[in-house]
Structure 1
């Protein structure tokens, strides 16, 4: 991501180049895989295994060209997510992008404003639907060393924090939709341009 300016919101255990050099890309789990529909466990051990997982998540997110990724999206049911996301929905070329990870995240709404915007998901490839989210939040949790962190976010970044925390609670953006909207989104799914874990179509909701 050398072509964009990156702000590191929290100590990421090394910059993106560090994560990209040591991490491995893993396939993305898609809707219907049970791991996506179960709440994840709290991280209780902060060490090399967690650091390796975060590096793998950054690489997997880059491979799939996402702006956020939760651990259960690569099949690991632990409460941690990573992100590389701009704040603006326009994603202008000169905009600062935010990068970081949050372990055991909890999202707090910090204003009354909400926004209705299209939302997609690497685990629902090719589909989008409009979802109402809080426009301003703070995500609280821990870094790789177990230090408390609090990261504020607005607009797209706030949406990313809410979306990824939903994943760790066993929810997809599809769960915010009406049954008709959900059916439409599932029908719009397409062949992903990144490796995915094979899921029997019969198990999809």
Structure 2
């Protein structure tokens, strides 16, 4: 789905989305972890153009006024849209496995709840953030471990966190079995300067 933050701040995939960013396309194919949005602790004034944005999105004027009037400085407003692109149609047509859920809804499904219990969501360990806090521009980090322990997830989270501080991250991928930035059977050296918006 495509997400735009209209008010407040929200973190997903290790990156903080703010109203100053453009639409972000987030991917979570069937069988992957659910997308998780965590609101950040902040206290900011209501965006002055929020009312106009809501009216442009065809919200009734009275509803937009009531909605904007109910917001608190700690409120977060997210606009989510379904991604309608040709490459999704191609994948659905030519891949035998059902990658994307078949859904009659025009909008992506969304559930608002506290993450309690054994939900299949991206779980960020405190140790990851402790590691990131220790990193300097010249730091080198090796990610290794067994199958399905979270190496790729941590790599994506680490990249997104570092891109909030630095313009690019150099990734040397030595896993020919499931490489992150090239085809299987290859190793790669990649300068990453764009955020990674997908789950495993």
Tell me the TM-score range normalised by the shorter chain.
under 0.3
- Higher relative strand content: 1
Q: Comparing both structures, which one devotes a greater share of its residues to helix?
A: 1
Which has the larger Rg? 2
